[in-house]
Amino acid sequence: MIGGVDLEIAVVDDEKTIREQIGKLIEKQIHDCHVSMFSSGEELNACEKRFDIVFLDVKMKGIGGIETARRLRKKSEDTVLIFVTGIKEYVFDALDLYAFQYLLKPINERKFAEVLERAIREAEKNTEKNELFIKSKKLTIDQSDILYIESNGKKVGIHTAGSKKIIEIYASMDELEKELDRSFYRCHRSYIVNMSHIAEYGSDYISVSGGDKVYLTKKKYSEFKKAYMWHLQNGGIHDI
C-alpha cells in the first residue's frame, strides 16, 4: 500500500463493472484517498470538486472522454489524467490533452499498479510549490509560471505567463538549468523552455503558450522529441 497526502480521485466510465474494478484497485493500493464514481463525462464536468487524479474512459454515451478531458483541462490544468479504454486510435488525442498515461482494457493489474504509483507521485508534486528564488532581486517565482528563459549576453530574461512579464537578471544559463525542475529542457545554448507550456514544435523551433517561439538546435531535435514525449506520458523527463 502507498501512503502520502489525501488524494481526490475520480473514476469516469459508463460501465459499472469497470468503475468498481478500478475503485477496488485504487483502494487496494492507497491508504488515504477519496474515490468518486461518475457514469458519464457530464457528471464529472458538473462536479465542482477538484480532483488530483482522474481515470477516464474514452468512449462513453453522451460526451466522450476526449471532450470531457478538454473541458476538465479548462478547470484544472494540473489534474493527472489517465485514459482507460479498449481503443488505441485515440492515443494522440490523449497526448494533446497532456494525458499522463493511456491504459488499455482489459485492465492489467500489475500495469495499473505501476501507473497509479507514478500518478500519485505526480499528484503529490503538483500540490507542492516549486519555486525559483532570484537572490539579486529578492524575488521568488513559481516555476510553473515560467514559459522560457532566454540568454542575452551576461543577462537572462525569464519570460512568464499571465502578464507576460519578463524578469531580467544577471545569471548564467548553466546555473539556472541546475535550479529548474525536470519540466525544463535546454533546447539551445541560449534558451531553456518549460515543456508544460509547449504549444507546437518543428525541426528548429518550439512555440510556447502565448505565441512566442524559441530556437531548437537541429542536432537536438531527436533528443528533444524523446524528452517531450516522456514529459507528456510520465510527468517528467526520462534520463537520456
**Confidence grade of residue 239 (pLDDT, cut at 50, 70, 90):** very low
Residue 84 has φ and ψ, to the nearest 5°, of -125, 115
User: One-letter amino acid identity for 47?
Assistant: C
Q: What is the pTM of this model?
A: 0.55
**How confident is residue 5, by pLDDT bands cut at 50, 70 and 90?**
low
pLDDT score of 110: 93
Q: Which residue from 222, 231, 235 is spatially nearest to 119, judged by alpha carbons?
A: 235
pLDDT surpassing 60 at residue 232: yes
Element (DSSP H or E) covering residue 194: strand 191-194
DSSP string, 136-151: GGTEEEEGGGEEEEEE
Q: At what angle do helices 109-126 and 16-29 cross, to 10 degrees?
A: 70
Partners of 51 in the beta sheet? Answer: none
Quick one: cell of 39? 457514469
Q: Could you tell me where the DSSP H helices lie in 164-220?
A: 173-179
| Helix (H), strand (E) at residue 53 | strand 53-57
- Return mean pLDDT, the chain: 85
- CATH H-level superfamily of 7-126: Response regulator (3.40.50.2300)
On the question of pLDDT at 95 being above 90, the answer is: no
Question: Looking at the domain covering 131-234, what would its CATH class be?
Answer: mainly beta
What span, in angstroms and rounded, lies between the C-alpha atoms of 29 and 44? 23
Mean pLDDT of the region 144-148:
91
Domain ranges of the chain: 7-126, 131-234
The cell for 188 is 539551445
Q: Which ranges constitute the DSSP H helices of the chain?
A: 16-29, 41-46, 65-75, 91-96, 109-126, 173-179, 221-234
